[in-house]
Structure 1
Amino acid sequence: MKAAIIRATGGPEVLELTEVPTPEPQPGQVRVRIRASAINPIDTYIRSGMVALSLPLPAILGCDFAGEVDAVGEGVTQFQVGQRVWGSNQGLAGRSGTLCEYACIGTEWVYPTPDAIRDRDMAALALVGITAHLGLFACANLQPGETVFVNGGTGGVGSMVVQMAKAAGAAVITSVGSSEKAKLARELGADEVILYKEENIYQGVASRTGGKGVSVWYETQREPDLLQTVPVMQPRGRIILMAGRQSQATLPVGPFYVKNLAILGFAMFNFTAQEQRLCADQIQTWIREGKLKALVGLELPLEQAAEGHRVQEANSMQKAGTLSGKIVIIP
């Protein structure tokens, strides 16, 4: 089968397309014919060596997948050959990556794909959807009637936060970089949109909430400004941090504890398969109800996986702002 592999960590150029043996499913696994994968910032961190993992080189990267079951291993009864499936969390902890034509995946990480969605969109939803759900509900315990702010409402995680918070009965404020993205954010369900190039985000949040602030601040940026975030939080508000590995943010301790605030940091990969399945179940329900859709900003063939990594790095590391939604790779 064809696969995009790395033989050593480095720049996007270390990704190479090659032929590797098609894997056979072990007990408790299914072999998935990958119809779509997606590129996430974590993939570029692993490829570059920024996140040091013990990879069995050469390694196939890629967390997300959507496709159909091609074969089943011993003991697998919950999935059948030909069934459409999706998932994430691959390419980590010894699990097979998904920038390839076939991958053998443990059934604990595999979910049935709703009929209402295409494979490319399901792959685009996978990691960012589970991440958004964990932050909003497992961490922030979002309740109907609360107000959520998320930076980057047309980005991968941000677009999921907007839609999920709205589906859960919250009011949603977001920030974007252009009038075109503002229109898209409103179509996704945002009640208020701040054009951050024209208006200060924190002043915008304060004015749009009548000075009351927000219940949940979902921070997607790599350099959170807690000095400005804390003043626009409601009492008992929750600040969600899930980016910025090298960030050293300053916390205004007095205003923070006087408001009974909480900061909740999390990494999706620290949650168990059972915890993540709860997210997947809700995601599937919202897809069937038409409350959740994917944003695909760029679609590339497997042969151009390195280009996908370049675009992802430009947007997540250099803040190029050229991408709305996800980069999807089609084997």
Structure 2
Amino acid sequence: MRAAYVEQLGPPEAIRYGELAAPVPGPDEVLVDVGATTVNPVDVFVRSGVFRTPLEFPFVIGRDLVGTVASAGGGFAVGDAVWCNSLGHGGRQGAAAEQAAVPVDRLYPLPPGVPPEVAVAVVHPAAAAYLALFTHGGLCSGETVLAGGAAGNVGAALVVLAVRAGARVIATASAGDHDYCRELGASEVVDYRDPELTRRLAELAPDGVDLHVDTSGHNDLASAVALLAHRGRIVLMAGAQDEPVLPVGPLYMKDASVRGFAISHATTGELASAATTLNDLFSRDLLRPRAMETLPLSAAAEVHRRMERGELHGRRVVLRTGC
């Protein structure tokens, strides 16, 4: 089979595209013919070595796939449309190949009528948003959520999921993205470049924010804690090399909490819970990428370069096999 892979950790130039032996599924795995995959920031972290995880070389890169079952197993029949968003780490080979052996407990059915390119573009950021809001953030109906960077891939999913759960969402985004955030369901949107950002947010949430989730990777914990309601929560889900100062006194006086979250550590049960919600939203056509580009799988190295240079800006690049 053809695959995008690395033989050692390194820069995007380490990625090769060529022939590898096809995977042989184990007793708890299903062989999938991959139709499409994509590139996430975490894929860059794994390939470069920023995120350390067990790997076996040659290592097929990539987390996410949409495809069809090639060999029946685990309740799946040949030809079933399926998806996965947790390959490519923890000793598992990745998704950027014509075939992948996927553990049964990490494989989910794709609802009828959902375009594969649309699904593969959103399953990772939307699952991250779900886990941040509910598994780690404990979001309840009627609470107020601050979604930082709400026009991005994860941020947009945060807004959609929180609104569907009955929360009020205050979003931050650049001025040109305010209408988009409102279309997603945000009640109020504030320009994150506003020099009076913290004051304006505090005015919009005079009783405080119950859940603060910032997707930008720049975690201003002093401002975040100041905005929290009594027993408010901050979920950190970006900023692998960020080292903000934690205002301990105000945090404990509010009975508040800060919790780190990396989707790579999610359990199969947590991922399955997210998948159930994502499939429901897929069926209702409520999860879609804002901007999408389709390229052949052979372009994987170039897409990694573009992501590291910061050129994608919310655009999702789908890599198709067989092109």
TM-score, structure 2 as length reference: 0.94
Structure 1: tracts of 5 or more residues without a match? none
Q: For 2:75 and 2:289, how far apart are their aligned partners in 1?
A: 26
Which whole-Å deviations, capped at 9, do the CAs of 1:212-231 have from their partners, x for residues lacking one? 33111012232311111111
Partner of 1:57: 57
Structure 1 residue 137: Cα displacement: 0.6
SS of alignment partner, residue 8 of structure 1: coil
Which amino acid in structure 2 is aligned with residue 112 of structure 1? P
Q: For 1:245-292, what per-residue CA distance to the aligned partner results, in whole angstroms no more than 9, with x for missing partners?
A: 222221111211111111111222222212211111111112223333
Percent sequence identity over aligned pairs:
34
Is the contact between residue 29 and residue 104 of structure 1 (CA under 8 Å) also seen in structure 2? Answer: yes
Q: 2:317 is matched with which residue?
A: 327
Which structure 2 residues correspond to residues 8-23 of structure 1 after superposition, within 5 A?
8-23=8-23
Aligned pairs for 1:134-283 (under 5 A) are 134-179=131-176, 181-198=177-194, 200-209=196-205, 211-283=206-278
CA distance in 2 between partners of 1:69 and 1:158 (Å): 31
Amino acid at match of 1:164: L
Cα shift at 1:202: 1.9
Moved more, 234-243 or 189-198: 189-198
Matched, 1:38 2:38: yes
Contact 1:300 1:308 in 2 (8 A): no
Q: How many residues align?
A: 321
Counterpart Cα distance in 1 of 2:124 and 2:278:
11
Name the amino acid aligned to 2:179. Answer: K
Relative to structure 1, is the Cα distance of residues 248 and 44 closer, same or farther in structure 2, using a 3 angstrom cutoff? same
Give the whole-Å Cα distance in 2 for the aligned partners of 1:223 and 1:152.
10
Whole-Å separation in 1 of the counterparts to 2:180 and 2:70: 37
Give the RMSD, CA atoms, in angstroms.
1.7
Per-residue deviation, 1:103: 0.6
Q: With structure 1 as the length reference, what TM-score do the two structures score? A: 0.91
CA displacement 1:129-162 (0-9 Å, x = unmatched): 2211111111111111111111111212111111
Cα distance in structure 2, aligned partners of 1:56 and 1:126: 25
